[in-house]
Chains A and B, each alone.
Chain A
Amino acid sequence: MISFIITTIICFITYLLLTTGSGSFLGLWSIEEILIGLILSLITGFITHGLFVKNNMRMANPMRWIYFIGYLIGPFFVSLAKANIDVAYRVITGKIKPGIVKIKPDLKTDLGITMLANSITLTPGTLSVDIDETTNELYIHWINVDEDALKKKPVDCKYICGNFPKWIRRIAE
């Protein structure tokens, strides 16, 4: 029941966000849009509540969302900017030393691994290629392999993604 309510409310908010400027209710919406949106989000919530909320309320904690926004604005955006300067440097000079390495980030949930893989792709010099689903190990294509990092296997996370696993553990686990 509670998963149905959460899904319906999120659907309704999304519908309202996408239909602003349609009328004069609160200056933004028309009554018809609100009615249709309510009916559609009730139907959608009824059909998809089992897919959207999976029997645990881990992500209902607002602290996790505050951490998530802090993570997006702080370390994530900084390393995205660094990544672009890095790629610009490599595009102009053509200095590359590629290789595929394995890391073991010790995250357990699907959401956490997805977030880490996406963050790794968008941060300096690294691109996630494959995942071992039984052990949650990631295979990373590294554009400029550091010889020091190869001495220990699997490669230490700090060379690839800094302290991202710590942040993601706080957000998603």
Chain B
Amino acid sequence: MMEPLVSIRFSDNRRCFRPGETFDFDCQLDAVEQSDLQAVELSVLWYTEGKGDEDMGVHYFERRKDTGETDLRELYRVSTKLPLSPLSYDGKIVKIRWCARVRCFLRKGREVHQDLCFQLQASEE
């Protein structure tokens, strides 16, 4: 069975955002039947990488369920105001990454997720 295609796109195709700024992203699903989709979760979150165990902080979360009224595959826009911290960080043993994540729940308990990372920085380099 073919995996669904999850497309995520940031507004203006930017990859660097500033704290307190409004952050938009669009998401769309393809190569999947509407009847195969149970729910779609859309999140904006940070997670840590590096030597330590992974920590995660969810800034925005929305769960869209299949109610039969809307097509979960259609283009959907998420908009949220980014927090003032934590900023993206590329340290030696601690790294902080920000991403938009779309997780699809399919029939028979299958899951597919797609991340698109971005930088949350005080100054645009």
To the question of whether A and B form a pair in one complex, the answer is no
